Structure 1
C-alpha cells in the first residue's frame, strides 16, 4: 500500500509528474532491492533447473521433482512478478494499465499459493518417508499429478484478483492532486471484500504453516529416536572384506549383526542407494536390507533438513509482508502517518517475500553436495 509523500515544500505548484518523480526518488532503495532480487533469482533458479534436469537423477527422485517445481515457480516470479513490482514502484501515482494490474496481481497470488502448497506436500512427503517408511510413498507419477492439482487450485484461488484489483486512487501529499496505482479498486474501498479475501488467504497460509511445523516436529522426534537407537547398537564391522580376518571370525561378526539388528525392510522411492555404494562384504539379502535401509534413512534425513530450511525461509520471508497486510487493513491512518524514512522501510518489509524467490539456490549450494559439486564442474568448464 502506498503512502503520501511528507515534508513537501509549500508554495510550489506541483504537477502529478513531479510528485511521481519525487516518490520514485524516495523509493530508489526498494527499486534496487527488487532489481537485485530479479537478476539473482533468475540466474540462480535457472542454474537449479539446468543442473537438476540435465545432470542429476531426476527421473527416480521425488525430492528432485519438488526442487524443480519450486524453481519453476521462483523463476517465473522473478521474470514476471519482479518487473511488475518495479513498474508499480516507478509509476507510484501513474499506473493506469488496469489489465496488467489485474492479471499480474492474480499471477502473483497464484504463484505464492503454488509455492506454499508445494512446500506443504514436501513436508507431508518427508513425514511419510521418515516416520512411516513402511507405508505407501509418493511416486514420481503421483507427484506430477499432485502438482497439476496444486496449479489448478492456486488458479481458482487467485481468480478474485481479477475483480478486486484495478483503478485505485492514492493520495500524493498535495490536497488537490491524487494519483492512480494498482491496488483494490475504488469501488471496493468501503466494502469487506478486500479484507475478507486477504483474511481467507492468510488463513490458508497459517493453516498450512502450522501443519508443516507439526510434520517437521514429528520428523525431528523420529530422527532423534533413530539416532539414539543407532548409538545403542554400537556395531563394529568392516564392509569391505579383510583378507587378514579368518572366515570363522567374519561368520561370527555377521551372525552378531543379524542377531542385534531387527531385519526391517524399507520401501523408499527416492534417495536411492546402490549395492555398490554399500559395499560387498555382507552378501545375504537380509543384511543388504539392513544396510540399505540405514543408508536410505540417513540420506532421507539430510534431504529433509534441506527442504526444512527451504520451508523455514519461505515462512520467514512472507511473515513481514503478511503482518503489514493485516496492519494496513486494520489501521490505514497509521500507515499514512509514516514519515519518508519510515515509508522506505515499510515498502522494503512489504516486499520481503521477494527474498523467498532468490534464496533457494543458495540453500542447495550449501546443503546439497551433489548440486554444489555439479555447479563447481560447470564453473570450471566455463573457465576452460
Structure 2
C-alpha cells in the first residue's frame, strides 16, 4: 500500500479505522487469535492436571500462575483484539484505564509468583537444610504476590493511563488506547519508569539465582556419579532437577517477553522518533506484534510443562482421548516433596 494514499481520500475517523484494520493490522490480529486459541485450552489443561496432584509447593505456585495466565488470556487478548478493531475509534478512556490496570496487575502478580517460584527452587537446591517455603505457609506468600500486583495496578485504574491522540490529517483525530508518552503527565512517566526498573530488577535477580542453582545442580550431578546413592535418592534428585529445568525455562520465557515489553514502558522512541503512518506494511505489523509479545508469557508455560514433565504430557493425552486417570498415581509429587528434604539431608551428611 502506498503510504501517501493512507492519509488521503478518507474524511472520517471510521474510514481511517477501517483502512488500518483491513490493510495494516491483519497480521497482528491473526497473531492474537492464534495466542487466544492456544492459551485458553493450554492453561485449562494446566489447571485440570495440576489440580489433581498439586500438594506440592512448586506445583501450587505453578497452578496459581496458570490461573493468572488463563484470566489474562480471557481478558487481555480479547481486549487487545478490541483495540485492534477500534484502533482509531477507542473513545472510552475509562474502559482503557480499567482493563489496562487489570492487565498490569496480572503481569505484576505473575512476575512476583515467578520470583517466588525461583526462591523456592533456590532454597530446595542450594539451601536444603535451611527453613523452606512449605504447603502451610505458601498461601500467604501467594496472597502477598497478588496483593502487590493489585496495589501496583491501581494507578492504571485510577487516573494515570492517558488517551493517545493521533492526527490523521484532514482535521480528523484518532483516539487510541495506548501509551501516550509524549503528552502524558509526569506521574505517568514516573509510574512507567518504576515498572521498567522493577522488571529489569526481577530479570537480574532471576539470572543471579539461576546461576547459583545451575552451579549447585552441576556439582550435585558430579557427586551423584561418584557416590553410591540409593535408587530412591537418585530418583528424587532427578525429579528435583526436572522441576528446576521447568522453572528455569519458564523464567527464561519471562525474561524474554518482559524485555520485549519494555518498549511499551519506554515508548518515547515510538511516539517522538517514529511516525506510524509512514511505516511500511511489514514494519508496522511487526511493531504491533512486538509490542504485544509479552502475551507469549501467558501462553507458553503449558508447552514448557509438556516438554519437561512426562506426566503432564500423559495426562494431556488422557484428557484429549477421554481416558480416566489414576488419581493414586498422582499423589506421588506430595510424597516426593516430603522425602526430598530427607534425601538432601542424607546426601549432605555423606
Q: Given the two structures, how large is their TM-score scaled by the length of structure 2?
A: 0.85
Equivalent of 2:272, from 333, 355, 371? 333
Give the aligned partner of residue 58 of structure 1.
Answer: 54
How far does residue 14 in structure 1 lie from its aligned partner after superposition? 2.1
Equivalences for residues 191-270 of structure 1 within 5 A: 191-233=185-227, 235=228
Supply the distance in 1 between the matched residues of 2:299 and 2:81 (Cα, whole angstroms).
16
Supply the distance in 1 between the matched residues of 2:207 and 2:258 (Cα, whole angstroms).
15
Supply the distance in 2 between the matched residues of 1:114 and 1:372 (Cα, whole angstroms).
27
How far does residue 191 in structure 1 lie from its aligned partner after superposition? 3.3
Give the aligned partner of residue 36 of structure 2.
Answer: 38
- Verify the 8 A CA contact 2:179 2:264 in the aligned structure 1: no
Give the aligned partner of residue 245 of structure 2.
Answer: 305
How far does residue 8 in structure 1 lie from its aligned partner after superposition? 2.1
Residue 374 (structure 1) aligned with residue 312 (structure 2): no
Supply the distance in 1 between the matched residues of 2:36 and 2:184 (Cα, whole angstroms).
35
Supply the distance in 1 between the matched residues of 2:4 and 2:180 (Cα, whole angstroms).
28
Residue 349 (structure 1) aligned with residue 290 (structure 2): yes
Residue 363 (structure 1) aligned with residue 304 (structure 2): yes
- Verify the 8 A CA contact 1:195 1:329 in the aligned structure 2: no
* Superposition CA RMSD, Å: 2.2
Supply the distance in 2 between the matched residues of 1:58 and 1:9 (Cα, whole angstroms).
54
Residue 171 (structure 1) aligned with residue 110 (structure 2): no
Q: Which of these two proteins has the greater Rg computed from alpha carbons?
A: 1
Give the aligned partner of residue 19 of structure 1.
Answer: 16
Structure 1 unmatched runs, 5+: 236-260, 262-289
How far does residue 77 in structure 1 lie from its aligned partner after superposition? 0.6
How far does residue 175 in structure 1 lie from its aligned partner after superposition? 4.6
Equivalent of 2:148, from 150, 153, 172? 153
How far does residue 321 in structure 1 lie from its aligned partner after superposition? 2.3
Which secondary structure state, in structure 1, belongs to the residue aligned with residue 176 of structure 2? strand
Q: Given the two structures, how large is their TM-score scaled by the length of structure 1?
A: 0.78
Supply the distance in 1 between the matched residues of 2:319 and 2:7 (Cα, whole angstroms).
58
How far does residue 334 in structure 1 lie from its aligned partner after superposition? 2.1
1:144-201 Cα deviation digits (max 9, x unpaired): 11111111111111111121124332232x2511111223579x82532232111100
Deviates more, 1:328-337 or 1:81-90: 328-337
Supply the distance in 2 between the matched residues of 1:11 and 1:133 (Cα, whole angstroms).
68
Supply the distance in 1 between the matched residues of 2:270 and 2:248 (Cα, whole angstroms).
34
- Verify the 8 A CA contact 2:164 2:178 in the aligned structure 1: yes
How far does residue 345 in structure 1 lie from its aligned partner after superposition? 1.0
- Verify the 8 A CA contact 2:36 2:73 in the aligned structure 1: yes
The count of residues paired between Structure 1 and Structure 2 equals 319
- Verify the 8 A CA contact 2:69 2:299 in the aligned structure 1: yes
Supply the distance in 1 between the matched residues of 2:133 and 2:290 (Cα, whole angstroms).
37
How far does residue 293 in structure 1 lie from its aligned partner after superposition? 4.4
1:94-120 Cα deviation digits (max 9, x unpaired): 111222111100011100001111111
Which secondary structure state, in structure 1, belongs to the residue aligned with residue 4 of structure 2? coil
How far does residue 209 in structure 1 lie from its aligned partner after superposition? 1.0
Deviates more, 1:116-125 or 1:9-18: 9-18
How far does residue 41 in structure 1 lie from its aligned partner after superposition? 0.3
